[in-house]
Structures are given as structure tokens and as C-alpha cells.
């Protein structure tokens, strides 16, 4: 079992490095290696050489090894959570660092256990045809800084299960957690099957254009996703892109405001709002608007925020100064427009760390930048509506469509509304929850391709039709 210190020692750079600082305190967490394009090329070459033997093991043996890797992950979960909390900023408790490590283990085990049977599509007097899936080869995985360990596993697990090898490029903001994760997994996996390369945009651009890489999995901004599409085009790579979101929630007038307040809060503020599929715009019917705002304000004001390693906190800092500035700008814009800040909105700019208080903004117009732009932080605008068709139109009125939610005491009515919302997922009376067997993906400019479950496994293989 590793300690925090031994995890950092195992990934300590031998060459050029840069400091990684705790976003809550400004203290040094560790030093990250600065890998080069040549380092990436070497990792891809090793992965290409290792892939045939890994594929030849077959699904059962690969799954057995993956379960042993999950055991190693569980054995080292606390040290990884401590590192994650310091590097990313999220608290240990609540739906945060320890939760993330538990989810990573669950997704790894589920990918190992999910069957993908040969599908017979025709079997009659006209003939016999079936679909099976072959490995792609080498998969490039580019991850974000908000859920660095969990999302890395979302990319790694199905790729390995399908017989691919994987080269991971973590975010420049959170490389240590991902490199430590890979080091733990590699205590079980065969050499060359999984590698991490910590580099800058040049390394990422090379990964997305590398002729040996057969598929790119990317979670991050829509702008970066578009750049990956362009750079991958010449080699016709397969892509799974989970891009930006600006998720809407619609609250119907038949709900109990007090009963839904905590669900609304966590839908919006999980990981201090730094989640692609978090609730980012809330539309509430005029009949219950004031009550919903009051109950949500009370819940928000009671949630403790602070340094992640304090066991009492459930909200942490924003991970980096650039994200703090985005949230700050959008809330200040809302204030200037006459919107009403019910709680929060007043960061202490003299304290260490990128802390922005959990903020509820009421009496705000739908065209306000805080509503129309993805804030990706702890500031939720609550917009009043009187006609349901107007709320649906406003929910659909942005160019992204990752997730949405409908809140109602009438499940059939909620599903009717959900069917009119253009997004990859619509939750009923909750927001943002994911399950390893339920496919997840976006619509519009939130990307394409599905992750999780059987569909997620298929996305990491090349379909082959056997006809005859």
C-alpha cells in the first residue's frame, strides 16, 4: 500500500519539471515531469508493440487482469484521494475525492465484467450475418482537470477491455493524480499497455495527429474538441468527444420546493460546480419561484467550503485562477445588470486559494451572460418563467446539449417535457448522476460518441461483419 509520499516519489521527474501548487493554499504539492513530443512518440511506439499480445489474451484474461488492477486501485485509494484533494482542490469528503476513487474502481470493474456478445443480425433462409468487434489498436486519451482520476478511468477501462493499449495525456493542471493512478495500475498491467505523458499543448496536438493512434477519447471544452477534430482528420481517427455543457433544469409548479432543494444544490454544486454535466441554468415556474429560491439559498448557505484536506468541508476552491476569473466576471456582470445575489457573490480576494463562495443569483434575465455562458463554477442563475413552452425554448436555446433535468411530482408529465429537450441525457428529479451501465454522451456542440456500458465498449472496437 502506497503513501502520499511514495506515490509522489514513484512519479518524480528525472528531467525537466514544473511545480504543481495546491489551489486551496498555494503550497507545493509536487513536481510534474515536462514530457516532450519525443517522449510521446516513445510511449506510442511501446504501446503499439504491446498491443497484439494484450489483444491475444482474450476478453476473459484481460478482465481478470483489470480486476486485479482495480484491487490495486482500492488498496491505494486513500493515498490517491489525498493527492487528488491537494492537486485538484476538492475536499476528501462529500461527493469529492474519496467518492471519485470509489467511482473509478467501480467503472474499472464494470468494464471488466460487461459482456459484449457477437450479435447475429440475420439468420434465416437468406443467409447468416453477425457483428463482432476487433480492437482499434492504440487509443489516445486526453483528460480534464475537474475529475482527473474518474474520467481517466472512463477512458482507460473500456479501451483496455476491448484489447487496445492506451496513452494518456492528463491536464496540465492535474498531472500528478493521473500519473500516480497509472503507476498504480501498471503494478499489475503488462509493460507498455498503459502510459502517461505529461506535456503541453504541443504534446496534445501530436497525440491527436499521431499516425499510429487509432482513436482519441477527449473530455474538455468544445473549442479544444474542435481543434482535435481538425488535427485528427488527416489520419481519419475515430473520436469520442465529451465537450462543454450548459445544462438546464426546469422546475414545474407541482413540486415541493423544500423537498427538491438539496437535490438541486448537488446537481449544480457537485465538485464546486466544476462538472460538465452540472446544473448550470435553473428555470422555475412563477408560482413557486420565490419558495424554490429561498429553500435553495438556505441549503447553499449551510454548506461548508474550505481546504480540501479538512474533513469537515464539502466544497473546495476553483482549481485554477483562469476558472476563478471566469466565474467572477460572470457574477459581476449579473450584479451590474440588476440581478439579485441571494447568497455568495463576494469572494475574499485577500485569502490564499481560488475560493469563490457558492452563489445563487435570482431575478436574472435569460440573455444574461451568466445564463448563456458556461460558468463551470459555484454560481447558479435562477430564471423565472410562466409558460412551460417558454422554459423549454430557453433550455434549448444554446448551442450545447450535454444534460438537462425536469423536476415534477408527476413522472409522466416530467417525461413528456424531457422528450422536448435537446440534450444527451435528461434526468427526472435529479441532475448529473451517471451509472457505469447507462450510456452517456452529448448532442449539438457537446460532442459525439457514447461512453459506459455495452455502447461504450463498442465505441472502443472496430465492428466487423461476418457475412455467410
Q: Are residues 227 and 292 in the same domain?
A: no
Whether residues 302 and 379 fall in one domain? yes
179 in the same domain as 83: yes
Distance CA 416, CA 96 (A): 33
Of 279, 293, 253, 262, whose CA–CA distance to 395 is shortest? 279
417 and 463 inside one domain = no
Decide if 274 is inside a domain.
Answer: yes
Q: Are residues 333 and 225 in the same domain?
A: no
Residue 101 sits in the same domain as residue 194:
yes
What is the pTM for the complete model shown?
0.96
Return the C-alpha cell found at 112: 471488466
Q: Rounded to whole angstroms, how far apart are CA atoms 140 and 126?
A: 41
- How far is CA 296 from its chain centroid? 25
- Please give the helix or strand (H or E) that residue 196 lies within, else none: strand 194-196
Q: Residue 436 falls within a domain, yes or no?
A: no
Q: Please report, in tens digits, the pLDDT of each residue of the chain (468 residues total).
A: 889 999 999 999 999 999 999 999 999 999 999 999 999 999 999 999 999 999 999 999 999 999 999 999 999 999 999 999 999 999 999 999 999 999 999 999 999 999 999 999 999 999 999 999 999 999 999 999 999 999 999 999 999 999 999 999 999 999 999 999 999 999 999 999 999 999 998 999 999 999 999 999 999 999 999 999 999 999 999 999 999 999 999 999 999 999 999 999 999 999 999 999 999 999 999 999 999 999 999 999 999 999 999 999 999 999 999 999 999 999 999 999 999 999 999 999 888 999 999 999 999 999 999 999 999 999 999 999 999 999 999 999 999 999 999 999 999 999 999 999 999 999 999 999 999 999 999 999 999 999 999 999 999 999 999 998
Given phi > 0 = left and psi -120 to 50 = alpha, else beta, which region is 327?
Answer: alpha
Domains identified in the chain, total number:
2
One domain for residues 50 and 103? yes
CB 189 within 8 A of CB 108: no
CA dihedral 47, 51, 54, 58 (to 10 degrees): 150
**Do residues 261 and 299 touch, judged by C-beta distance below 8 A?**
yes
Q: Which parts of 199-256 fold into alpha helices (H)? A: 201-209, 222-232
**Residues 176 and 311 placed together within one structural domain of the fold:** no
DSSP structure string for 116-164: -PPEEEEEETTEEEEEEEEE-SEEEEE--SSSHHHHHHHHHHHHHHTT-
193/270 same-domain check: no
363: domain CATH number? 3.40.309.10
> What separation, in Å, do the N-terminal and C-terminal C-alpha atoms of the chain show?
52
pLDDT at 387: 98
Same domain, 414 and 452: no
What is the reported pLDDT for 242?
Answer: 97
The answer to whether residues 184 and 278 belong to one domain is: no
| Active-site residue, from 87, 100, 276, 295 | 276
What is the pLDDT at residue 396? 98
Judge if 293 and 212 occupy the same domain: no
Q: Does 41 map to a domain?
A: yes
Q: What does the alpha-carbon distance between residue 422 and residue 424 come to, in Å, rounded to a whole number?
A: 7
Task: Give the separation between CA 395 and CA 281, rounded to whole angstroms.
Answer: 8
- Residue in 87, 100, 172, 242 annotated catalytic: 242
Q: Is residue 242 among the annotated active site residues?
A: yes
Cβ 1 vs Cβ 75: under 8 Å: yes
Give the structural domain span for 338: 247-428
Q: Are β-strands 340-343 and 443-444 bridged in parallel, bridged antiparallel, or unpaired?
A: unpaired
Residue pair 281/395 in contact by the 8 Å Cβ criterion? yes
The whole-angstrom separation of Cα 184 and Cα 73 is 7
Amino acid at each position: 500500500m502506497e503513501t502520499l509520499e511514495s506515490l509522489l516519489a514513484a512519479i518524480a521527474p528525472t528531467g525537466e519539471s514544473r511545480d504543481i501548487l495546491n489551489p486551496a493554499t498555494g503550497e507545493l504539492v509536487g513536481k510534474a515531469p515536462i514530457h516532450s513530443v519525443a517522449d510521446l512518440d516513445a510511449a506510442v511506439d511501446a504501446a503499439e508493440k504491446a498491443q497484439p499480445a494484450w489483444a491475444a489474451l482474450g476478453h476473459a484474461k484481460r478482465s481478470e487482469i483489470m480486476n486485479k488492477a482495480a484491487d490495486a486501485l482500492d488498496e491505494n485509494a486513500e493515498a490517491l484521494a489525498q493527492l487528488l484533494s491537494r492537486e485538484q482542490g476538492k475536499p476528501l469528503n462529500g461527493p469529492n475525492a474519496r467518492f471519485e476513487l470509489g467511482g473509478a474502481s467501480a467503472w474499472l470493474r464494470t468494464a471488466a465484467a460487461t459482456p459484449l456478445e457477437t450479435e447475429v443480425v440475420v439468420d434465416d433462409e437468406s443467409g447468416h450475418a453477425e457483428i463482432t468487434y476487433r480492437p482499434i489498436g492504440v487509443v489516445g486519451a486526453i483528460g480534464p482537470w475537474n475529475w482527473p482520476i474518474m474520467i481517466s478511468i472512463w477512458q482507460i477501462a473500456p479501451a483496455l477491455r476491448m484489447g487496445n493499449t492506451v496513452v494518456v495525456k492528463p491536464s496540465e493542471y492535474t498531472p500528478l493524480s493521473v500519473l500516480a493512478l497509472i503507476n498504480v495500475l501498471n503494478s499489475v498491467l503488462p509493460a507498455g499497455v498503459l502510459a502517461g505523458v505529461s506535456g503541453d499543448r504541443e504534446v496534445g496536438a501530436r497525440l491527436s495527429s499521431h499516425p499510429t493512434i487509432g482513436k482519441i477519447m477527449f473530455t474538455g471544452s468544445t473549442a479544444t474538441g474542435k481543434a482535435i477534430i481538425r488535427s485528427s482528420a488527416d489520419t481519419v481517427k475515430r473520436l469520442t468527444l465529451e465537450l462543454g455543457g450548459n445544462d438546464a433544469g426546469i422546475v414545474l409548479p407541482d413540486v415541493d420546493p423544500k423537498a427538491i432543494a438539496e437535490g438541486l444544490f448537488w446537481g449544480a454544486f457537485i465538485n464546486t460546480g466544476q462538472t460538465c454535466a452540472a446544473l448550470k441554468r435553473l428555470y422555475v415556474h412563477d408560482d413557486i419561484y420565490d419558495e424554490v429560491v429561498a429553500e435553495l439559498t438556505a441549503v447553499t448557505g449551510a454548506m461548508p467550503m474550505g481546504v480540501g484536506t479538512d474533513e469537515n468541508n464539502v466544497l473546495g476552491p476553483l482549481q485554477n485562477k483562469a476558472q476563478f476569473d471566469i466565474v467572477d466576471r460572470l457574477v459581476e456582470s449579473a450584479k451590474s445588470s440588476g440581478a439579485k445575489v441571494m447568497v455568495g457573490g463576494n469572494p475574499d480576494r485577500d485569502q490564499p486559494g481560488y475560493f469563490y463562495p457558492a452563489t445563487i443569483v435570482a431575478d436574472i434575465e435569460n440573455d444574461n451572460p451568466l445564463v448563456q455562458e458556461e460558468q463551470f463554477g459555484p454560481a447558479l442563475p435562477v430564471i423565472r418563467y410562466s409558460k412551460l413552452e417558454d422554459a423549454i425554448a430557453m433550455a434549448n436555446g444554446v448551442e450545447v446539449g450535454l444534460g438537462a433535468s425536469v423536476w415534477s411530482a408527476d413522472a409522466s408529465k416530467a417525461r413528456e417535457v424531457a422528450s422536448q429537450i435537446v440534450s444527451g441525457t435528461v434526468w427526472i428529479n435529479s441532475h448529473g448522476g451517471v451509472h457505469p451501465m447507462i450510456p452517456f454522451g452529448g448532442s449539438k456542440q457537446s460532442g459525439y460518441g457514447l461512453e459506459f456500458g455495452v455502447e461504450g465498449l463498442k465505441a472502443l472496437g472496430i465492428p466487423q461483419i461476418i457475412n455467410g
